[in-house]
Amino acid sequence: MKYGFEEGCSPVMTLKKRHSLRKMRKPKAEKQIVAPEEKPTVVFQDLGVDYMEALLLFSESLAP
């Protein structure tokens, strides 16, 4: 019966190597899933001239 052990290598070292190879491949697969995510967008809304004038007057009254 063949267990996949390398010549001159212990079964524990073979399992460690196999586990490390799996661990290295996993992040690449996760990155492919995360990559297509949409970027956040900022939407500005026009608040009108009256509101902007009120803000301007308010900020001028605070200035020394």
Handedness of CA 49, 54, 59, 64 (dihedral sign): positive
Task: Note down pLDDT in tens along the chain; length 64 residues.
Answer: 455 555 677 778 888 887 777 766 655 555 555 556 688 888 888 889 999 899 889 888 887 6
Contact 14, 6 (CB under 8 A): yes
Q: How far apart are CA 62 and CA 13, in angstroms?
A: 72
Alpha-carbon distance 15 to 23, whole Å?
Answer: 12
- Give the pTM: 0.30
**Per-residue pLDDT, 17:** 81
Give CA 60 to chain center in angstroms: 42
